[in-house]
Structure 1
Protein backbone atom coordinates (compact mmCIF):
# COMPACT_ATOMS: atom_id res chain seq x y z
CA UNK A 1 0.00 0.00 0.00
CA UNK A 2 2.76 2.42 0.93
CA UNK A 3 4.54 1.68 -2.35
CA UNK A 4 1.35 2.45 -4.28
CA UNK A 5 0.90 5.72 -2.45
CA UNK A 6 4.53 6.64 -3.10
CA UNK A 7 4.27 5.88 -6.82
CA UNK A 8 1.04 7.81 -7.24
CA UNK A 9 2.27 10.80 -5.25
CA UNK A 10 5.64 10.97 -6.99
CA UNK A 11 3.97 10.80 -10.40
CA UNK A 12 1.49 13.50 -9.44
CA UNK A 13 4.17 15.88 -8.18
CA UNK A 14 6.34 15.33 -11.25
CA UNK A 15 3.45 16.20 -13.53
CA UNK A 16 2.50 19.14 -11.35
CA UNK A 17 6.01 20.58 -11.75
CA UNK A 18 5.57 20.38 -15.52
CA UNK A 19 2.37 22.40 -15.14
CA UNK A 20 0.03 19.71 -16.46
CA UNK A 21 -1.75 17.23 -14.22
CA UNK A 22 -4.18 15.07 -16.21
CA UNK A 23 -7.61 14.72 -14.64
CA UNK A 24 -7.37 10.95 -14.07
CA UNK A 25 -3.92 11.31 -12.48
CA UNK A 26 -5.22 14.05 -10.18
CA UNK A 27 -8.14 11.82 -9.19
CA UNK A 28 -5.79 8.92 -8.42
CA UNK A 29 -3.60 11.18 -6.31
CA UNK A 30 -6.56 12.50 -4.36
CA UNK A 31 -7.85 8.95 -3.91
CA UNK A 32 -4.47 8.01 -2.44
CA UNK A 33 -4.57 11.10 -0.21
CA UNK A 34 -8.06 10.23 1.05
CA UNK A 35 -7.16 6.58 1.61
CA UNK A 36 -3.89 7.43 3.33
CA UNK A 37 -5.61 10.01 5.52
CA UNK A 38 -8.34 7.52 6.45
CA UNK A 39 -5.89 4.77 7.42
CA UNK A 40 -3.79 7.18 9.47
CA UNK A 41 -6.85 8.76 11.07
CA UNK A 42 -8.08 5.31 12.06
CA UNK A 43 -4.71 4.46 13.64
CA UNK A 44 -4.84 7.66 15.64
CA UNK A 45 -8.50 7.17 16.52
CA UNK A 46 -7.76 3.74 17.99
CA UNK A 47 -5.73 5.46 20.71
CA UNK A 48 -7.80 8.65 20.93
CA UNK A 49 -5.55 10.85 18.73
CA UNK A 50 -5.91 12.48 15.31
CA UNK A 51 -3.01 10.62 13.71
CA UNK A 52 -0.99 13.67 12.60
CA UNK A 53 2.20 12.11 13.96
CA UNK A 54 1.72 9.28 11.41
CA UNK A 55 0.57 11.59 8.61
CA UNK A 56 3.81 13.61 8.57
CA UNK A 57 6.04 10.64 7.57
CA UNK A 58 3.52 9.83 4.83
CA UNK A 59 3.68 13.38 3.46
CA UNK A 60 7.48 13.25 3.39
CA UNK A 61 8.02 9.63 2.36
CA UNK A 62 5.10 8.76 0.07
CA UNK A 63 4.04 12.15 -1.28
CA UNK A 64 7.59 13.55 -1.45
CA UNK A 65 6.96 16.95 0.08
CA UNK A 66 9.98 18.85 1.42
CA UNK A 67 10.30 18.93 5.20
CA UNK A 68 8.92 22.43 5.85
CA UNK A 69 6.16 22.04 3.26
CA UNK A 70 5.11 18.74 4.86
CA UNK A 71 5.00 20.35 8.31
CA UNK A 72 2.83 23.22 7.02
CA UNK A 73 0.47 20.84 5.23
CA UNK A 74 0.29 18.65 8.32
CA UNK A 75 -0.48 21.70 10.46
CA UNK A 76 -3.32 22.75 8.15
CA UNK A 77 -4.86 19.27 8.20
CA UNK A 78 -4.39 18.98 11.96
CA UNK A 79 -6.33 22.23 12.41
CA UNK A 80 -9.22 20.87 10.35
CA UNK A 81 -9.26 17.50 12.14
CA UNK A 82 -9.13 19.06 15.63
CA UNK A 83 -11.88 21.55 14.74
CA UNK A 84 -14.12 18.58 13.86
CA UNK A 85 -12.95 16.42 16.76
CA UNK A 86 -14.05 18.91 19.43
CA UNK A 87 -17.79 18.67 18.70
CA UNK A 88 -17.47 14.90 18.12
CA UNK A 89 -16.30 14.47 21.71
CA UNK A 90 -19.08 16.58 23.24
CA UNK A 91 -21.32 13.52 23.44
CA UNK A 92 -18.90 11.62 25.67
CA UNK A 93 -17.38 14.57 27.54
CA UNK A 94 -19.81 17.48 28.22
CA UNK A 95 -18.71 21.08 27.68
CA UNK A 96 -19.33 21.76 31.37
CA UNK A 97 -16.70 19.18 32.37
CA UNK A 98 -14.14 20.83 30.10
CA UNK A 99 -15.07 24.35 31.27
CA UNK A 100 -14.70 23.26 34.89
CA UNK A 101 -11.00 22.71 34.25
CA UNK A 102 -10.35 26.11 32.64
CA UNK A 103 -7.43 26.86 35.05
CA UNK A 104 -5.62 23.78 33.71
CA UNK A 105 -6.25 24.80 30.10
CA UNK A 106 -5.02 28.35 30.73
CA UNK A 107 -1.97 27.09 32.63
CA UNK A 108 -0.77 24.95 29.73
CA UNK A 109 -1.76 27.56 27.12
CA UNK A 110 0.43 30.11 28.87
CA UNK A 111 3.41 28.05 27.76
CA UNK A 112 2.16 26.35 24.60
CA UNK A 113 1.20 29.53 22.72
CA UNK A 114 4.69 30.95 23.10
CA UNK A 115 6.24 27.56 22.34
CA UNK A 116 4.22 27.27 19.13
CA UNK A 117 5.46 30.67 17.92
CA UNK A 118 9.07 29.87 18.81
CA UNK A 119 8.94 26.37 17.30
CA UNK A 120 7.55 27.60 13.99
CA UNK A 121 10.25 30.27 13.86
CA UNK A 122 12.94 27.65 14.38
CA UNK A 123 11.48 25.41 11.68
CA UNK A 124 11.53 28.27 9.14
CA UNK A 125 15.17 29.09 9.90
CA UNK A 126 16.54 25.53 9.89
CA UNK A 127 18.16 24.10 6.79
CA UNK A 128 16.05 21.40 5.16
CA UNK A 129 18.50 18.61 6.02
CA UNK A 130 18.61 19.70 9.65
CA UNK A 131 14.82 19.89 9.83
CA UNK A 132 14.55 16.29 8.58
CA UNK A 133 16.76 15.18 11.46
CA UNK A 134 14.87 17.26 14.01
CA UNK A 135 11.62 15.69 12.79
CA UNK A 136 13.16 12.20 13.08
CA UNK A 137 14.28 12.83 16.68
CA UNK A 138 10.86 14.21 17.63
CA UNK A 139 9.11 11.17 16.13
CA UNK A 140 11.25 8.99 18.38
CA UNK A 141 10.14 11.16 21.32
CA UNK A 142 6.49 10.69 20.31
CA UNK A 143 7.02 6.92 20.05
CA UNK A 144 8.27 6.78 23.64
CA UNK A 145 5.42 9.06 24.73
CA UNK A 146 2.97 6.53 23.28
CA UNK A 147 4.69 3.68 25.11
CA UNK A 148 4.55 5.65 28.35
CA UNK A 149 0.75 5.68 28.19
CA UNK A 150 0.76 2.00 29.19
CA UNK A 151 2.47 2.96 32.44
CA UNK A 152 0.16 5.84 33.37
CA UNK A 153 -2.80 3.92 34.76
CA UNK A 154 -3.02 4.82 38.43
CA UNK A 155 0.34 6.59 38.36
CA UNK A 156 -1.11 9.84 39.70
CA UNK A 157 -3.56 8.33 42.19
CA UNK A 158 -3.73 10.18 45.48
CA UNK A 159 -2.01 13.33 44.19
CA UNK A 160 -4.07 16.50 44.89
CA UNK A 161 -5.31 18.19 41.71
CA UNK A 162 -5.18 21.83 42.84
CA UNK A 163 -2.89 24.10 40.82
CA UNK A 164 -0.15 25.06 43.26
CA UNK A 165 2.55 27.62 42.35
CA UNK A 166 5.00 24.79 41.66
CA UNK A 167 2.50 22.97 39.45
CA UNK A 168 1.74 26.22 37.63
CA UNK A 169 5.42 26.75 36.78
CA UNK A 170 5.72 23.11 35.69
CA UNK A 171 2.59 23.49 33.53
CA UNK A 172 3.96 26.56 31.75
CA UNK A 173 7.27 24.80 31.13
CA UNK A 174 5.56 21.65 29.86
CA UNK A 175 3.22 23.69 27.67
CA UNK A 176 6.14 25.59 26.16
CA UNK A 177 7.97 22.37 25.25
CA UNK A 178 4.80 20.79 23.84
CA UNK A 179 4.07 23.92 21.79
CA UNK A 180 7.54 23.75 20.23
CA UNK A 181 7.18 20.06 19.34
CA UNK A 182 3.66 20.58 17.96
CA UNK A 183 4.86 23.39 15.70
CA UNK A 184 7.96 21.56 14.48
CA UNK A 185 5.90 18.49 13.51
CA UNK A 186 2.67 20.24 12.51
CA UNK A 187 0.69 18.11 14.99
CA UNK A 188 -1.95 18.87 17.60
CA UNK A 189 0.30 17.60 20.39
CA UNK A 190 -2.25 15.32 22.04
CA UNK A 191 0.28 12.49 22.31
CA UNK A 192 2.24 14.75 24.73
CA UNK A 193 -0.61 16.77 26.24
CA UNK A 194 -2.63 13.77 27.40
CA UNK A 195 0.18 12.20 29.48
CA UNK A 196 0.98 15.67 30.89
CA UNK A 197 -2.66 16.25 31.89
CA UNK A 198 -2.85 12.83 33.53
CA UNK A 199 0.44 13.01 35.42
CA UNK A 200 0.63 16.71 36.28
CA UNK A 201 -3.05 17.45 36.94
CA UNK A 202 -4.42 13.95 37.75
CA UNK A 203 -7.10 14.31 35.05
CA UNK A 204 -9.10 11.27 33.90
CA UNK A 205 -7.84 9.96 30.55
CA UNK A 206 -11.18 10.53 28.82
CA UNK A 207 -11.40 14.14 30.02
CA UNK A 208 -7.70 14.61 29.21
CA UNK A 209 -8.47 13.88 25.55
CA UNK A 210 -11.02 16.71 25.37
CA UNK A 211 -8.86 19.14 27.35
CA UNK A 212 -5.94 18.43 25.02
CA UNK A 213 -8.10 19.44 22.04
CA UNK A 214 -9.12 22.68 23.77
CA UNK A 215 -5.42 23.44 24.31
CA UNK A 216 -4.29 22.24 20.88
CA UNK A 217 -6.63 24.39 18.77
CA UNK A 218 -5.39 27.85 19.84
CA UNK A 219 -1.82 26.52 20.00
CA UNK A 220 -2.00 25.36 16.39
CA UNK A 221 -3.58 28.63 15.27
CA UNK A 222 -0.57 30.54 16.67
CA UNK A 223 1.91 28.20 14.96
CA UNK A 224 -0.08 28.41 11.73
CA UNK A 225 -0.02 32.21 11.85
CA UNK A 226 3.76 32.14 12.30
CA UNK A 227 4.21 29.77 9.34
CA UNK A 228 2.08 32.07 7.16
CA UNK A 229 5.01 34.51 7.16
CA UNK A 230 7.24 32.06 5.26
CA UNK A 231 7.22 31.66 1.48
CA UNK A 232 6.80 27.87 1.89
CA UNK A 233 3.26 28.65 3.08
CA UNK A 234 2.34 28.90 -0.62
CA UNK A 235 2.33 25.09 -0.68
CA UNK A 236 -1.21 25.27 0.72
CA UNK A 237 -2.45 27.26 -2.26
CA UNK A 238 -0.86 24.85 -4.72
CA UNK A 239 -2.29 21.80 -2.93
CA UNK A 240 -5.64 23.06 -1.65
CA UNK A 241 -7.62 20.12 -3.02
CA UNK A 242 -5.07 17.62 -1.74
CA UNK A 243 -5.28 19.13 1.77
CA UNK A 244 -9.08 19.06 1.90
CA UNK A 245 -9.31 15.50 0.57
CA UNK A 246 -6.66 14.11 2.93
CA UNK A 247 -8.18 16.00 5.87
CA UNK A 248 -11.60 14.53 5.02
CA UNK A 249 -10.08 11.05 4.98
CA UNK A 250 -8.37 11.75 8.31
CA UNK A 251 -11.66 12.89 9.89
CA UNK A 252 -13.49 9.79 8.65
CA UNK A 253 -10.67 7.52 9.79
CA UNK A 254 -10.45 9.16 13.21
CA UNK A 255 -14.21 8.72 13.64
CA UNK A 256 -14.07 5.04 12.67
CA UNK A 257 -11.02 4.47 14.85
CA UNK A 258 -12.76 6.18 17.75
CA UNK A 259 -15.70 3.79 17.43
CA UNK A 260 -13.23 0.89 17.64
CA UNK A 261 -11.43 2.38 20.63
CA UNK A 262 -10.55 -0.42 23.03
CA UNK A 263 -11.20 -3.24 20.52
CA UNK A 264 -7.45 -3.78 20.09
CA UNK A 265 -5.73 -4.04 23.50
CA UNK A 266 -3.39 -1.11 24.24
CA UNK A 267 -0.65 -3.55 25.22
CA UNK A 268 -0.63 -4.73 21.58
CA UNK A 269 -1.56 -1.53 19.75
CA UNK A 270 0.74 1.01 21.38
CA UNK A 271 4.01 -0.91 20.83
CA UNK A 272 2.96 -1.53 17.21
CA UNK A 273 2.28 2.17 16.57
CA UNK A 274 5.45 3.18 18.38
CA UNK A 275 7.37 0.77 16.14
CA UNK A 276 5.85 2.41 13.03
CA UNK A 277 7.00 5.81 14.28
CA UNK A 278 10.51 4.52 14.99
CA UNK A 279 10.79 3.06 11.48
CA UNK A 280 9.49 6.33 10.01
CA UNK A 281 12.01 8.27 12.06
CA UNK A 282 14.87 6.12 10.75
CA UNK A 283 13.79 6.66 7.14
CA UNK A 284 13.37 10.42 7.57
CA UNK A 285 16.79 10.65 9.28
CA UNK A 286 18.36 9.18 6.15
CA UNK A 287 16.24 11.32 3.86
CA UNK A 288 18.18 13.48 1.41
CA UNK A 289 16.91 16.34 -0.70
CA UNK A 290 17.17 15.49 -4.39
Structure 2
Protein backbone atom coordinates (compact mmCIF):
# COMPACT_ATOMS: atom_id res chain seq x y z
CA UNK A 1 0.00 0.00 0.00
CA UNK A 2 1.15 3.57 -0.60
CA UNK A 3 2.61 5.19 2.49
CA UNK A 4 3.46 8.68 1.19
CA UNK A 5 0.08 10.02 0.06
CA UNK A 6 -1.24 13.05 1.94
CA UNK A 7 -4.96 13.28 2.47
CA UNK A 8 -6.34 15.74 -0.06
CA UNK A 9 -8.96 18.24 1.12
CA UNK A 10 -12.34 18.40 -0.61
CA UNK A 11 -12.18 20.49 -3.78
CA UNK A 12 -15.68 22.01 -3.49
CA UNK A 13 -14.28 25.51 -4.07
CA UNK A 14 -13.27 24.46 -7.59
CA UNK A 15 -16.63 23.09 -8.76
CA UNK A 16 -17.12 25.49 -11.70
CA UNK A 17 -13.58 24.80 -12.87
CA UNK A 18 -14.12 21.06 -12.37
CA UNK A 19 -17.24 21.10 -14.57
CA UNK A 20 -15.56 23.25 -17.23
CA UNK A 21 -12.42 21.12 -17.22
CA UNK A 22 -14.46 17.94 -17.42
CA UNK A 23 -16.49 19.38 -20.30
CA UNK A 24 -13.47 20.43 -22.34
CA UNK A 25 -11.73 17.10 -21.77
CA UNK A 26 -14.90 15.18 -22.55
CA UNK A 27 -15.24 17.11 -25.81
CA UNK A 28 -11.65 16.30 -26.78
CA UNK A 29 -12.27 12.65 -25.99
CA UNK A 30 -15.57 12.60 -27.85
CA UNK A 31 -13.96 14.03 -30.97
CA UNK A 32 -11.58 11.07 -31.26
CA UNK A 33 -13.76 8.37 -29.72
CA UNK A 34 -12.19 8.24 -26.26
CA UNK A 35 -13.48 8.93 -22.79
CA UNK A 36 -11.01 11.75 -22.18
CA UNK A 37 -9.38 10.19 -19.13
CA UNK A 38 -5.92 10.60 -20.64
CA UNK A 39 -6.36 14.37 -20.57
CA UNK A 40 -8.24 14.46 -17.26
CA UNK A 41 -5.41 12.81 -15.31
CA UNK A 42 -2.82 15.60 -15.77
CA UNK A 43 -5.54 18.12 -14.88
CA UNK A 44 -6.29 16.32 -11.61
CA UNK A 45 -2.59 16.30 -10.73
CA UNK A 46 -1.44 19.66 -12.09
CA UNK A 47 -4.45 21.94 -11.56
CA UNK A 48 -6.31 20.36 -8.63
CA UNK A 49 -3.16 19.09 -6.86
CA UNK A 50 -4.25 15.55 -6.09
CA UNK A 51 -1.52 13.04 -5.24
CA UNK A 52 -0.71 10.65 -8.07
CA UNK A 53 -2.58 7.59 -6.81
CA UNK A 54 -5.56 9.65 -5.65
CA UNK A 55 -5.75 11.25 -9.10
CA UNK A 56 -5.68 7.80 -10.73
CA UNK A 57 -8.52 6.57 -8.50
CA UNK A 58 -10.65 9.67 -9.14
CA UNK A 59 -9.91 9.36 -12.86
CA UNK A 60 -10.97 5.72 -12.79
CA UNK A 61 -14.29 6.60 -11.12
CA UNK A 62 -15.06 9.34 -13.66
CA UNK A 63 -13.99 7.12 -16.54
CA UNK A 64 -16.42 4.44 -15.39
CA UNK A 65 -19.29 6.93 -15.58
CA UNK A 66 -18.30 8.17 -19.04
CA UNK A 67 -17.77 4.69 -20.50
CA UNK A 68 -21.07 3.41 -19.09
CA UNK A 69 -22.94 6.28 -20.74
CA UNK A 70 -20.94 6.24 -23.99
CA UNK A 71 -22.29 2.85 -25.09
CA UNK A 72 -25.92 4.07 -25.19
CA UNK A 73 -24.76 7.29 -26.92
CA UNK A 74 -23.26 5.17 -29.71
CA UNK A 75 -26.14 2.70 -29.98
CA UNK A 76 -27.77 4.59 -32.85
CA UNK A 77 -24.66 4.07 -34.97
CA UNK A 78 -23.47 0.73 -33.59
CA UNK A 79 -26.43 -1.28 -32.20
CA UNK A 80 -26.00 -3.54 -29.19
CA UNK A 81 -26.82 -6.51 -31.43
CA UNK A 82 -23.75 -5.82 -33.56
CA UNK A 83 -21.59 -5.73 -30.46
CA UNK A 84 -23.09 -9.04 -29.29
CA UNK A 85 -22.27 -10.64 -32.66
CA UNK A 86 -18.60 -9.96 -32.00
CA UNK A 87 -18.53 -11.46 -28.49
CA UNK A 88 -15.53 -13.76 -29.26
CA UNK A 89 -13.33 -10.69 -29.80
CA UNK A 90 -14.51 -9.10 -26.56
CA UNK A 91 -13.92 -12.31 -24.60
CA UNK A 92 -10.48 -12.76 -26.18
CA UNK A 93 -9.29 -9.33 -25.07
CA UNK A 94 -10.99 -9.57 -21.67
CA UNK A 95 -9.08 -12.81 -20.95
CA UNK A 96 -5.94 -10.70 -20.73
CA UNK A 97 -7.22 -7.26 -19.74
CA UNK A 98 -8.99 -8.38 -16.55
CA UNK A 99 -5.79 -9.96 -15.23
CA UNK A 100 -3.72 -6.98 -16.36
CA UNK A 101 -6.10 -4.57 -14.61
CA UNK A 102 -5.75 -6.45 -11.31
CA UNK A 103 -1.95 -6.53 -11.44
CA UNK A 104 -1.69 -2.93 -12.69
CA UNK A 105 -3.82 -1.58 -9.84
CA UNK A 106 -1.79 -3.58 -7.32
CA UNK A 107 1.50 -2.23 -8.65
CA UNK A 108 0.20 1.35 -8.67
CA UNK A 109 -0.89 1.00 -5.03
CA UNK A 110 2.62 -0.05 -3.98
CA UNK A 111 4.56 2.59 -5.92
CA UNK A 112 5.76 5.74 -4.22
CA UNK A 113 4.09 8.92 -5.47
CA UNK A 114 7.27 10.20 -7.11
CA UNK A 115 7.74 6.94 -8.99
CA UNK A 116 4.12 6.85 -10.10
CA UNK A 117 4.31 10.43 -11.40
CA UNK A 118 7.30 9.48 -13.53
CA UNK A 119 5.72 6.26 -14.77
CA UNK A 120 2.64 8.21 -15.84
CA UNK A 121 4.63 10.97 -17.49
CA UNK A 122 7.58 9.22 -19.08
CA UNK A 123 6.01 5.97 -20.19
CA UNK A 124 2.23 6.01 -20.38
CA UNK A 125 1.28 9.45 -21.69
CA UNK A 126 4.08 9.50 -24.26
CA UNK A 127 3.10 6.02 -25.45
CA UNK A 128 -0.54 7.08 -25.75
CA UNK A 129 0.45 10.17 -27.76
CA UNK A 130 2.36 7.97 -30.20
CA UNK A 131 -0.57 5.57 -30.55
CA UNK A 132 -2.99 8.44 -31.21
CA UNK A 133 -0.84 9.69 -34.08
CA UNK A 134 0.12 6.34 -35.59
CA UNK A 135 -2.79 4.01 -34.93
CA UNK A 136 -6.08 5.73 -34.20
CA UNK A 137 -6.81 6.81 -37.78
CA UNK A 138 -6.34 3.33 -39.23
CA UNK A 139 -9.08 1.85 -41.40
CA UNK A 140 -10.64 -1.59 -41.27
CA UNK A 141 -9.14 -4.32 -43.38
CA UNK A 142 -7.63 -7.78 -43.21
CA UNK A 143 -6.91 -9.04 -39.69
CA UNK A 144 -3.21 -9.08 -38.89
CA UNK A 145 -3.40 -12.64 -37.49
CA UNK A 146 -5.91 -15.47 -37.50
CA UNK A 147 -6.69 -18.60 -35.50
CA UNK A 148 -4.65 -19.53 -32.43
CA UNK A 149 -2.01 -16.87 -33.13
CA UNK A 150 -4.68 -14.16 -33.09
CA UNK A 151 -6.13 -15.52 -29.85
CA UNK A 152 -2.75 -15.53 -28.10
CA UNK A 153 -1.94 -12.05 -29.39
CA UNK A 154 -5.34 -10.83 -28.19
CA UNK A 155 -4.73 -12.12 -24.65
CA UNK A 156 -1.24 -10.56 -24.53
CA UNK A 157 -2.49 -7.24 -25.91
CA UNK A 158 -5.40 -7.28 -23.46
CA UNK A 159 -3.05 -7.91 -20.53
CA UNK A 160 -0.83 -4.95 -21.47
CA UNK A 161 -3.84 -2.69 -22.04
CA UNK A 162 -5.32 -3.75 -18.69
CA UNK A 163 -2.11 -2.74 -16.92
CA UNK A 164 -2.00 0.64 -18.67
CA UNK A 165 -5.68 1.29 -17.94
CA UNK A 166 -5.23 0.56 -14.24
CA UNK A 167 -2.03 2.56 -13.83
CA UNK A 168 -3.61 5.67 -15.36
CA UNK A 169 -7.24 5.15 -14.36
CA UNK A 170 -8.28 5.28 -18.03
CA UNK A 171 -10.65 3.23 -20.16
CA UNK A 172 -7.86 2.06 -22.48
CA UNK A 173 -9.68 2.89 -25.71
CA UNK A 174 -6.64 4.68 -27.15
CA UNK A 175 -4.90 1.27 -27.16
CA UNK A 176 -7.92 -0.98 -27.66
CA UNK A 177 -9.17 0.73 -30.83
CA UNK A 178 -5.91 0.30 -32.81
CA UNK A 179 -5.70 -3.29 -31.52
CA UNK A 180 -9.24 -4.07 -32.68
CA UNK A 181 -8.65 -2.47 -36.08
CA UNK A 182 -5.20 -3.92 -36.76
CA UNK A 183 -5.33 -7.30 -35.02
CA UNK A 184 -8.99 -8.19 -35.71
CA UNK A 185 -9.70 -6.08 -38.80
CA UNK A 186 -12.69 -4.35 -37.18
CA UNK A 187 -14.35 -1.28 -38.66
CA UNK A 188 -13.31 1.88 -36.81
CA UNK A 189 -16.84 2.65 -35.57
CA UNK A 190 -17.40 -0.93 -34.43
CA UNK A 191 -13.96 -0.91 -32.79
CA UNK A 192 -14.97 2.12 -30.73
CA UNK A 193 -18.00 0.35 -29.29
CA UNK A 194 -16.19 -2.96 -28.81
CA UNK A 195 -13.46 -1.13 -26.91
CA UNK A 196 -16.10 0.25 -24.54
CA UNK A 197 -17.48 -3.26 -24.02
CA UNK A 198 -13.98 -4.43 -23.05
CA UNK A 199 -13.15 -1.31 -21.03
CA UNK A 200 -16.12 -1.40 -18.67
CA UNK A 201 -15.43 -4.76 -16.97
CA UNK A 202 -11.68 -4.13 -17.12
CA UNK A 203 -12.07 -0.84 -15.24
CA UNK A 204 -14.41 -2.45 -12.72
CA UNK A 205 -11.71 -5.01 -11.85
CA UNK A 206 -9.08 -2.29 -11.42
CA UNK A 207 -11.51 -0.19 -9.39
CA UNK A 208 -12.21 -3.16 -7.08
CA UNK A 209 -8.49 -3.67 -6.57
CA UNK A 210 -7.97 0.00 -5.74
CA UNK A 211 -10.71 -0.19 -3.10
CA UNK A 212 -8.23 -2.07 -0.89
CA UNK A 213 -5.88 0.93 -0.74
CA UNK A 214 -6.22 3.66 1.88
CA UNK A 215 -6.23 6.28 -0.89
CA UNK A 216 -9.63 5.00 -2.03
CA UNK A 217 -11.13 7.29 0.62
CA UNK A 218 -10.39 10.20 -1.75
CA UNK A 219 -13.74 9.42 -3.40
CA UNK A 220 -15.69 10.00 -0.20
CA UNK A 221 -13.80 13.19 0.66
CA UNK A 222 -14.38 14.64 -2.81
CA UNK A 223 -17.78 13.21 -3.72
CA UNK A 224 -19.26 16.49 -4.98
CA UNK A 225 -16.12 17.32 -6.97
CA UNK A 226 -16.23 13.84 -8.52
CA UNK A 227 -19.88 14.09 -9.56
CA UNK A 228 -19.53 17.60 -11.00
CA UNK A 229 -16.45 16.77 -13.07
CA UNK A 230 -17.96 13.49 -14.26
CA UNK A 231 -21.11 15.37 -15.32
CA UNK A 232 -18.97 17.85 -17.24
CA UNK A 233 -17.14 14.98 -18.92
CA UNK A 234 -20.39 13.37 -20.06
CA UNK A 235 -21.78 16.64 -21.45
CA UNK A 236 -18.48 17.35 -23.19
CA UNK A 237 -18.24 13.87 -24.69
CA UNK A 238 -21.75 14.21 -26.10
CA UNK A 239 -20.92 17.62 -27.59
CA UNK A 240 -17.63 16.32 -28.97
CA UNK A 241 -19.45 13.54 -30.75
CA UNK A 242 -21.75 16.08 -32.41
CA UNK A 243 -18.75 18.16 -33.53
CA UNK A 244 -16.84 15.16 -34.88
CA UNK A 245 -17.58 15.84 -38.55
CA UNK A 246 -16.35 19.42 -38.37
CA UNK A 247 -12.74 18.79 -37.34
CA UNK A 248 -10.41 16.90 -39.72
CA UNK A 249 -8.38 14.11 -38.13
CA UNK A 250 -5.28 15.38 -39.94
CA UNK A 251 -5.33 18.43 -37.65
CA UNK A 252 -6.97 16.94 -34.58
CA UNK A 253 -4.73 13.97 -33.84
CA UNK A 254 -1.38 15.83 -33.87
CA UNK A 255 -2.89 18.58 -31.71
CA UNK A 256 -4.14 16.07 -29.13
CA UNK A 257 -0.80 14.27 -29.15
CA UNK A 258 0.91 17.61 -28.44
CA UNK A 259 -1.47 18.21 -25.51
CA UNK A 260 -0.58 14.81 -24.07
CA UNK A 261 3.14 15.42 -24.39
CA UNK A 262 2.86 18.82 -22.71
CA UNK A 263 0.81 17.19 -19.95
CA UNK A 264 3.49 14.53 -19.53
CA UNK A 265 6.12 17.23 -18.97
CA UNK A 266 3.92 18.96 -16.37
CA UNK A 267 3.27 15.71 -14.49
CA UNK A 268 6.99 14.88 -14.53
CA UNK A 269 7.86 18.29 -13.08
CA UNK A 270 5.11 17.89 -10.47
CA UNK A 271 7.04 14.93 -9.01
> Which TM bucket (shorter chain)?
over 0.9
Q: CA deviation at 1:160?
A: 7.6
Distance 2:41 2:127 in 1: 14
SS in 2 for 1:92: coil
Is 1:104 paired with 2:89? yes
Residue 201 (structure 1) aligned to one of 181, 184, 189: 184
**Preserved contact between residue 22 and residue 230 of structure 2 (Cα < 8 Å):** yes
- The offset of 1:159, in angstroms, is 3.9
Matches of 2:80 and 2:270, distance apart in 1? 43
The counterpart of 2:38, out of the listed 46, 49, 53, is 53
* Counterpart-to-counterpart distance in 2, 1:247 and 1:152: 29
Counterpart CA distance in 2 for 1:46 and 1:239 is 28
Aligned CA distance change for structure 1 residues 37 and 180 (closer, same or farther; 3 Å): same
Is this contact kept in 2: 1:43–1:51, CA < 8 A? yes
Instruction: Indicate which of 47, 58, 80 corresponds to 1:62.
Output: 47
The superposition leaves residues 84-110 of structure 1 with CA deviations (integer Å, 9 ceiling, x where unpaired) of: 111111111011110010000000000
Contact residue 48 and residue 261 of structure 1 kept, 8 A: no
Shift of 1:179: 0.2
Q: Equivalents in 2 of 1:219, 1:32: separation in Å? A: 29
Distance 2:136 2:46 in 1: 29
**RMSD of equivalent CA atoms:** 1.8
Normalized against structure 2, the TM-score is what? 0.94
1:136-285 equivalent positions in 2, closer than 5 A: 136=121, 137-149=123-135, 152-153=138-139, 157-159=141-143, 163-285=146-268
Contact 1:150-1:266 within 8 A present in 2 as well = no
- The answer on whether the counterparts of 1:108 and 1:175 sit within 8 Å (CA) in structure 2 is yes
TM-score, scaled to structure 1: 0.88
- Out of 63, 74, 89, the position equivalent to 1:89 is 74
Residues 30 and 36, structure 2, Cα contact 8 Å, conserved in 1: yes
Runs (4+) of structure 1 exceeding 3 A deviation are: 158-161
Gaps of 5+ in 1: 1-12
How far did 1:57 drift? 0.3
Q: Tell me by how many angstroms 1:150 deviates.
A: 5.8
In the alignment, the residues of structure 2 paired with residue 159 and residue 58 of structure 1 have an alpha-carbon distance, to the nearest angstrom, of 37
Give 1:246 deviation, angstroms: 0.2
Distance in 1, matches of 2:157 and 2:136, equals 20
Q: Give the distance between the partners of 1:243 and 1:101, measured in 2 at CA.
A: 34
Instruction: Write the deviation string for residues 208-238 of structure 1: whole angstroms up to 9, x where unpaired.
Output: 0000000000000000000000000000000
3-state secondary structure, aligned to 1:82: helix
Deviation at 1:158, TM superposition (A): 3.6
Alpha-carbon distance in structure 2 between the residues aligned to 1:51 and 1:134: 19
Please tell me whether the aligned partners of residues 143 and 182 of structure 2 are also in contact (alpha carbons under 8 angstroms).
no
User: 1:63 is paired with a residue of what secondary structure?
Assistant: coil
Secondary structure of residue in 1 paired with 2:83: helix
